[in-house]
Amino acid sequence: MTAPISSATIIDGKAHAAALRQRVAEGVATFTAATGRQPGLAVVLVGEDPASAVYVRSKGKATAAAGMNSIEHRLPVDIDQTGLLELVAELNADDGVDGILVQLPLPSHIDSHAVIAAIDPAKDVDGFHPVNAGRLATGLPALVPCTPLGCIMMLKAVHGHLAGLDAVVVGRSNIVGKPMAQLLLAESCTVTIAHSRTRDLFAAVRRADIVVAAVGIPRMIEGGWIKPGATVIDVGINRTDDGLVGDVDFDSAVQVAGAITPVPGGVGPMTIACLLRNTLVAASRRAGVAEPEL
């Protein structure tokens, strides 16, 4: 006799993102009517990495479609750090710019920590500046990194509230793993951060009600690791010979999980929608108008 195969609810990141973009567009219209100006987002791309160029183009299109002013700066790959810092200083001083985003990764001759630290924290729509990371960690209002923010929004949509759930975040990057853990903690989850040196990763994943995979290793987390009924959020975007795959082995995990994000079409679209949200939040705070509920 074969065991019955159950199948998880697929969390539709594209639909969540479309709904958030719609709410942002409505908020932008209200902001523009109140202030007489559009929120402005400046995106800086250094070099010509094809994936980064695609993301920057998508961000520009989505920004304009939401009714905001999209400003794009493309710099040559050999620009020196001083040149990039000069542009950041200009954008900091420009009153029409509410959000500044420097697309990562940067070329290896540039210190990305120095560039992030040069961005005005009030305009840091990526939420990567140490001031925003510290504000998030201490429970103060912050600009929150877009990818983890998108993940937490989808988790809340699935679960309602998250208090008391066991969550594991696999990966400890400043962009995803660490802020994700902070957001889950703020929702009163019991949080484990696992990484390449974790001794028994299987056990950490196996006991979790929520698994957030952000390791950058194609299909590393298999269905057999997942607690039946758990919610699985796959942040991985790995280009392989089989095409784009996540950090979770979707085909096996979908049979065990209660809900799961696909790749593509899961977390990725929410990253850009949350960037628009953060830009409107930054603009509202800078202009001293009421922040929309998003």
Ligand X SMILES: Nc1nc2c(c(=O)[nH]1)N[C@@H](CN(C=O)c1ccc(C(=O)N[C@@H](CCC(=O)O)C(=O)O)cc1)CN2
Instruction: Name the residues annotated as catalytic.
Output: 59, 103, 126
Decide which of ligand X, Mg ion, none touches 244; Cβ closer than 5 to 8 Å per partner kind.
Answer: ligand X
User: What is the spatial distance between Cα 226 and Cα 246, in angstroms, rounded to a whole number?
Assistant: 15
Binds Mg ion by CB under 5 A, chosen from 98, 210, 268, 276: 268
The DSSP H or E segment spanning 158 is helix 146-159
Stretch that binds Mg ion, among 63-71, 102-110, 140-148, 267-275 (CB under 5 A): 267-275
Binds ligand X by CB under 6 A, chosen from 146, 162, 211, 233: 146
> Can residue 279 be called a binding residue for ligand X (CB under 6 A)?
no
Pick the closest to residue 99 from 48, 47, 40 (CA basis).
40
> Can residue 271 be called a binding residue for ligand X (CB under 6 A)?
yes
Task: Answer whether 87's CB lies under 8 Å from 44's CB.
Answer: yes
The DSSP H or E segment spanning 259 is strand 259-260
Pick the closest to residue 118 from 109, 108, 128 (CA basis).
128
Considering only residues 163 to 202 of the shown chain, the ones binding ligand X according to CB under 6 A are none
Residue 197 assigned ligand-binding role = no
- Rounded to 5 degrees, φ, ψ at 271 are -60, -45
Both tokens assigned to 189: 């989850």
Nearer Cβ to Mg ion (121/268): 268
Mask for 52-81, x = binds ligand X (CB under 6 A): ---x--------------------------
Residue 70 assigned ligand-binding role = no
> Can residue 126 be called a binding residue for ligand X (CB under 6 A)?
yes
User: What is the spatial distance between Cα 34 and Cα 74, in angstroms, rounded to a whole number?
Assistant: 32
- Where along the sequence are the contacts to ligand X (CB under 6 A)? 55, 101-104, 126, 146-147, 237, 244, 263-265, 268-269, 271-272
